[in-house]
Amino acid sequence: MKTIQGPAIFLAQFMGNDAPFNSLDSICKWVSSLGYKGIQIPAWDSRCFDLKKAAESRTYCDELQETVAKHGLKITELSTHLQGQLVAVNPAYDVMFDGFAPKELHGKPKERTAWAVQQLKYAARASKNLGLNAHATFSGALMWHTVYPWPQRPAGLVEDGFKELANRWLPILNTFDECGVDLCYEIHPGEDLHDGVTFERFWEATGNHKRANILYDPSHFVLQQLDYLQYIDFYHSFIKMFHVKDAEFNPTGKSGVYGGYQEWINRPGRFRSLGDGQVDFQSIFSKLAQYNYAGWAVLEWECCIKHPEQGAQEGAPFIEDHIIRVTEKAFDDFASTGKDSEFNRRILGIS
């Protein structure tokens, strides 16, 4: 078994235009002061990262590593959640997702998709240059508008959807394979990969591509009412990244999983700061240790009640307290009689 690394923090929800959140150096100083040991970098945020430059320049990557290391931190992974979303966008969502792309691509879905694919390929090379072995992204969605089968889905629609999704991602997955980096899809409502069944169907459509893996975030399973502990039993071999995020689900006679189009503060299912929700993190950390997860435990803060700075301050000790230093010896070693084949044969009654 291996001990999980951490605590680390995803910077996406904390970057801003005011110090200390407006540059990589200053935010690293801040998160280090809170007790974090690693940072996950949003590859779309120019205030802390230049993706194209990182893909093309080892010198730039070395400089990034030096900036992070002087604060006692490591880069855990890069994230292309926004760019990954744009690899597959149903036309129904074109206008809403245009904001994830440069302005010159707004209203140009084909060009936007090509840009997103290139961004992911840059991310593979940047990860390699930074010495990273996993990367975080979203799958995008061609079928999400059909998630509830009314009207009835036409025969073959889902199969065709996963075939097209796989075709879009295969060139990207191959680039990640060339770079020796696992591509980890965050299993997330709004994406075509939103539970175990959809991940399996996508994985099979890619020809069981070895670089197609999972970013595990239990909060999204609470909101779907999916067994997030058994999920680890089923998919532990694919889980190469871990977002530590809490959530709660409190259905009423008025609203349940779908939320009634309400704002987050009023939805039955909502994300919470660590320790304020219902996720059983003690069992999650135990299962991940049992299955030899060797990656990072990364705080992703999303809460509609608590201030992000308080969430970040509380997050580091919360994760630290849950990381299990795995044992290198059995608890009953004191009673061992050693290994003796002849002795074992006598116990078994074998002459």
Q: The domain spanning residue 148 has which CATH number?
A: 3.20.20.150
Give the pLDDT score at 335: 66
Distance CA 111, CA 132 (A): 29
Domain that holds residue 323: 5-348
Domains: count for the chain: 1
Question: 332 vs 308, 318, 335, 339, CA distance in Å?
Answer: 45, 30, 6, 15
pTM: 0.95
220 sits in which H/E element? helix 219-224
What is the spatial distance between Cα 4 and Cα 15, in angstroms, rounded to a whole number?
Answer: 26
Mean pLDDT by 10 residues, the chain (351 residues): 95 97 98 98 98 98 98 98 98 97 98 98 98 98 96 97 98 98 98 98 98 98 98 98 98 97 98 98 98 97 97 98 89 74 87 71
